[in-house]
Structure 1
Amino acid sequence: MSKIFLITYDLKEPGQDYSELYEAIKGLGDWQHPLESMWMVKVNDFVVAQNVYDSLRPQIDENDLLFIVDITDRNCQGWLSKTVWTWLN
């Protein structure tokens, strides 16, 4: 079984390069990027939010914001592309 984590962030410096953060997120597992500063990643069942945070923290600055939440139970609703909903389910 796998878990799904939602990752969202605000990088505070204008013009900040997101590429290293994007590559770190993609390296976590199967992913979707449905909104500009939001990703969803499928990871192994033993991974916890702290593991995800520890993997991403080196890619952000002290003044940036990062939030990671386990959405494995899929108790969510919204208006996203059909591809994303299929991936979630």
Structure 2
Amino acid sequence: MILQLSYELKTVEKDYSKLYSFLEKELATSSIHVLRDTWWIKYDGTKSISEICDMIKEKMGENDVFFLSMLDKNEINGWMASSNWKWLNE
């Protein structure tokens, strides 16, 4: 499944390196940072969206907000770098 994570990081003093490491190495089979505040994440595990949200929230600051959804790569479109589309289609 491909997930899209979009967020606003509002906690200025927070070190987000644990969040980025989690998204790139722990949660994802593969991931790509497609926009400044958006990731596409290939997830092959068995956790529900709610469980994944809880895991992400633990890595964020108390003022941060985010939105997590599943992407149907056959039902999306946009104007992005060709490398993003290549990642999605592989």
* Normalised-by-shorter TM-score class: 0.7 to 0.9
Taking structure 1 as the reference length, the TM-score comes to 0.83
In 1: Cα distance, 2:84 partner to 2:11 partner = 29
1:27-63 superposed Cα distances (whole Å, 9 cap, x missing partner) = 2111010111100100116343113212211111222
Q: Which runs of 5+ in 1 are unaligned?
A: none
Give the Cα–Cα distance (whole angstroms) in 2 for the partners of residues 20 and 48 of structure 1: 21
**Paired residue total:** 86
Unaligned runs of 5+ in 2: none
Kept after mapping to 2: 8 A contact 1:24/1:55: no
Q: How does 1:1-89 map to 2 (within 5 A)?
A: 3-14=1-12, 16-26=14-24, 27-29=26-28, 30-44=30-44, 46-71=46-71, 73-74=72-73, 75-89=75-89
Q: Distance in 1 between matches of 2:21 and 2:51?
A: 16
| TM-score, structure 2 normalization | 0.83
After superposition, the CA RMSD in angstroms is 1.6
Identity score, percent: 30
